[in-house]
Chain A
Amino acid sequence: MALLELENVSASYGSIEALCNIDLHVEAGEIVTLIGANGAGKTTTLMTTSGILRAKSGRIRFDGKDLIGVPAHEVVGLGLAHSPEGRRIFSRMTVLENLELGAFGRSDKEGIQKDINRVFELFPILGERRHQAGGTLSGGEQQMLALGRAMASRPKLLLLDEPSLGLAPLFVHRIFEVIRELNREGVTVLLVEQNARMALKLAHRGYVLETGRITLTDTGENLLKNERVQSAYLGE
């Protein structure tokens, strides 16, 4: 059974329909990516999954549990961490405090310490700046912190919304490397990306979203070769 399964999910902002009968699934151990133009519904899909936005209809199952109606703050405890678009780190808190907040729902002190140390291992710059206010970090460092903060809840599934947005290529590479490494350690990832080429290279499978509907799905490799994808999203 899939780790995450969306079945016929629709969602809307007021009267504006944002998602229309979405079907998608993520198997344990996969990296799955959602690509699409601005406003296609990628962020909405993640927000609906993590409970920030309420689905209008459909079923969402995660790890055998029904997620419809479960509020966002409880979803984290089930093992689903959502790193929202735009980083949204707590700028007045230190790097360490941000990471500790990521582990808000956990009570195993040693485990938390271990996971935070792991974040510092993956992103040494965060370790060096652990007592610095989050707002003083550069954009790339903030993105690393946002990723680390999501990891601190030790999730089974990580929802990442545009982790490469506005970053220098060097940072983008580092972030993608870490995502691959986390995945090798057993974390399942659902990734929303503007940078379709990098995302498809990284992902096992991908979905193409157009105006709230899934129009295409295949392995990452095949999507990279797909003519429609190439002309619409890869600029070839």
Chain B
Amino acid sequence: MENAPAIRNEGGRGSRVRLAWVALALLVIYPFFPFLDLAVELVTGESLRLDRQIVSIAIFAVLALALNLQVGYAGLLQLGIAAFFAIGAYTTGILTVAKYPFQLELWGALAAAPFVAGFAGLALGAPTLRLRGDYLAIVTLGFAEVVRVLLINLEGITDGPRGLNPIPEPWLPAWLRSAVDVSADAQRVRFLAVYFLAVGSVVALYITFRTLERSKLGRSFVALREDELASACMGVNPTRTKLIAFAAGAAIAGYAGALYACNLTTTAEPNTYDFNYSVMVLCCIIIGGLGSVRGAILGAAVLLGFDNVLSPLVTKLLQRATTSDSSNVLYSFSNWRWLIFGTALVLIMRFRPKGLWPSERVAADLREDES
């Protein structure tokens, strides 16, 4: 009986916690000492600028965690996460740029964006969450397209394809500025602020979600996903619980959008927030493991790491090796990305259907399948 497969972590926990601390410490010192960049430059002669990519990965991880709350925890198949991401970005734009009278400090916009996106989530979720899985997917997909087209066509408000910009830099206390600003320029200070904001957000969300998993609300998400009727018999209010997950996920996606706009200093053009973007986020939580917090972060790192770090690097190296015909599209590694994404997804579905790094709960399920 004692040998029966148990869900509780058996050993290895201590080392995993230590690993997390080491990773966090590395992330904190990285912008000051980019050892990987130096190493890559030494070997290949190409510069990497990995610290910039870490910001993108962290922002994408926040978005992935938002979708994981909706799809992974609550089982709501949402195909339009990009809409809430866009709403967050444009809220930040409208509240900060010179075109509008608000001209809020960036911190204010960062706080407001999740509210606006969360409210949009409530407004969309309240009438539609009673729909069964596939129908909800269609509604959210349609909603995302409507938002994108609105952003393109409401030129008076959104500046259409130009996007709202420039988004101002965040206010920092003078002592902090002078502490960092020994030799660096203002650009660098801004970058560091965004860097630590993005990485800090991922860490904060990680802790929040891990706590949520052990809470009553977290349990009711899992119960609801497993068996709606039985959960209702236990006293879980299905409609309300789903709505909480959907609105909270939308709010976090909006926050990610605000970070994104802040990082780019522009809301970017509306076509950034298209269906492909939603699918990318979905891919990243499927690759990482649905319902797994660490999986979502890993998925973001793998996908964006491939897209923004590995693929440009390989492309450059390829082009250098084949100087004869650098205009040939086949020599550009980036052009192969969808093929490689697709293949990777198929392989993962075939060989590791629970994802690269599933949650303990799902992992336990997996062991049981194997036995």
A92-B222, A92-B362 as given contacts; A131 in contact with B7, CB under 8 Å: yes
- In the complex, B78 has a CB within 8 A of chain A: no
* Stretch of A99-107, A171-179, A202-210 lying at the B interface: A99-107
Could you say which residues of chain B place their CB within 8 Å of the CB of A150? 233
**C-alpha spacing A102/B238, complex, angstroms:** 15
**C-alpha spacing A144/B231, complex, angstroms:** 17
**Interface-centre pick from A52, A90, A105, A153 (highest chain B CB count, 10 A):** A90
In the complex, the answer to whether B234 meets A133 with C-beta atoms within 8 Å is no
Among A73, A131, A132, A133, contact of B235 (Cβ-Cβ < 8 Å): A73
A88-B227, A133-B5 as given contacts; A52 in contact with B232, CB under 8 Å: yes
In the complex, the answer to whether A91 meets B226 with C-beta atoms within 8 Å is yes
- In the complex, B4 has a CB within 8 A of chain A: yes
- In the complex, A93 has a CB within 8 A of chain B: yes
A83-B233, A92-B362 as given contacts; A73 in contact with B227, CB under 8 Å: no
Could you say which residues of chain B place their CB within 8 Å of the CB of A128? 1
- In the complex, B368 has a CB within 8 A of chain A: yes
In the complex, the answer to whether A72 meets B227 with C-beta atoms within 8 Å is no
- In the complex, A154 has a CB within 8 A of chain B: no
Could you say which residues of chain A place their CB within 8 Å of the CB of B233? 50, 52, 72, 76, 81-84, 88, 150
Could you say which residues of chain A place their CB within 8 Å of the CB of B8? 131
A92-B222, A133-B7 as given contacts; A73 in contact with B237, CB under 8 Å: yes
In the complex, the answer to whether B232 meets A133 with C-beta atoms within 8 Å is no
**C-alpha spacing A73/B226, complex, angstroms:** 16
In the complex, the answer to whether B236 meets A73 with C-beta atoms within 8 Å is yes
In the complex, the answer to whether B219 meets A97 with C-beta atoms within 8 Å is yes
Could you say which residues of chain A place their CB within 8 Å of the CB of B236? 73, 101, 104
Among B4, B229, B368, contact of A129 (Cβ-Cβ < 8 Å): B4
In the complex, the answer to whether A101 meets B368 with C-beta atoms within 8 Å is no
As a 0/1 sequence over residues 3 to 38 of chain B, the CB contacts with chain A under 8 angstroms (1 = contact) are 011111000000000000000000000000000000
> Which residue of chain A has its CB nearest to the CB of B238?
A73
Could you say which residues of chain B place their CB within 8 Å of the CB of A92? 222, 226, 361-362, 364-365
**C-alpha spacing A131/B4, complex, angstroms:** 9
Among B227, B229, B365, contact of A133 (Cβ-Cβ < 8 Å): B365
In the complex, the answer to whether B232 meets A73 with C-beta atoms within 8 Å is yes
In the complex, the answer to whether A104 meets B220 with C-beta atoms within 8 Å is yes
- In the complex, A57 has a CB within 8 A of chain B: no
- In the complex, A139 has a CB within 8 A of chain B: no
**C-alpha spacing A73/B1, complex, angstroms:** 35
- In the complex, A117 has a CB within 8 A of chain B: no
- In the complex, A94 has a CB within 8 A of chain B: yes
A101-B223, A133-B7, A136-B368 as given contacts; A89 in contact with B230, CB under 8 Å: yes
As a 0/1 sequence over residues 231 to 254 of chain B, the CB contacts with chain A under 8 angstroms (1 = contact) are 111111110000000000000000
**C-alpha spacing A150/B7, complex, angstroms:** 23
CB A128 to nearest CB in B, in angstroms, measures: 5
A88-B229, A90-B227, A93-B223 as given contacts; A153 in contact with B365, CB under 8 Å: no
**C-alpha spacing A135/B7, complex, angstroms:** 12
**C-alpha spacing A89/B238, complex, angstroms:** 17
**Interface-centre pick from B220, B226, B362 (highest chain A CB count, 10 A):** B226
A104-B235, A135-B368, A153-B235 as given contacts; A90 in contact with B4, CB under 8 Å: no
- In the complex, B216 has a CB within 8 A of chain A: yes
A133-B364, A135-B368 as given contacts; A84 in contact with B229, CB under 8 Å: yes
Could you say which residues of chain B place their CB within 8 Å of the CB of A29? none
**C-alpha spacing A101/B238, complex, angstroms:** 14
Could you say which residues of chain A place their CB within 8 Å of the CB of B6? 131-132
Could you say which residues of chain A place their CB within 8 Å of the CB of B368? 133, 135-136
Within 345-363 of B, Cβ neighbours of A (below 8 Å) are at 361-362
- In the complex, A58 has a CB within 8 A of chain B: no
**C-alpha spacing A93/B364, complex, angstroms:** 10
Could you say which residues of chain A place their CB within 8 Å of the CB of B234? 73, 76, 101-102, 104-105, 149, 153
**C-alpha spacing A97/B364, complex, angstroms:** 14
**Interface-centre pick from B4, B6, B233, B365 (highest chain A CB count, 10 A):** B233
CB A211 to nearest CB in B, in angstroms, measures: 24
Within 44-88 of A, Cβ neighbours of B (below 8 Å) are at 50, 52, 71-74, 76-77, 81-84, 88
In the complex, the answer to whether A132 meets B7 with C-beta atoms within 8 Å is yes
In the complex, the answer to whether B362 meets A100 with C-beta atoms within 8 Å is no
Among B229, B361, B364, contact of A52 (Cβ-Cβ < 8 Å): B229
> Which residue of chain A has its CB nearest to the CB of B365?
A92
**Interface-centre pick from A89, A92, A136 (highest chain B CB count, 10 A):** A92
> Which residue of chain B has its CB nearest to the CB of A136?
B368
A84-B230, A92-B361, A92-B365 as given contacts; A136 in contact with B4, CB under 8 Å: yes
Could you say which residues of chain B place their CB within 8 Å of the CB of A136? 4-5, 368
Could you say which residues of chain A place their CB within 8 Å of the CB of B227? 88, 90
14 further A-B contacts with Cβ under 8 Å, apart from A50-B233, A93-B222, are A52-B232, A74-B237, A77-B235, A83-B233, A84-B230, A88-B233, A93-B226, A101-B234, A105-B234, A131-B8, A132-B4, A133-B7, A133-B365, A136-B5
* B interface, CB within 8 angstroms of A: 1, 4-8, 216, 219-220, 222-223, 226-227, 229-238, 361-362, 364-365, 368
**7 examples of A-B residue contacts, CB within 8 angstroms:** A52-B233, A76-B234, A81-B233, A84-B230, A94-B7, A101-B231, A153-B234
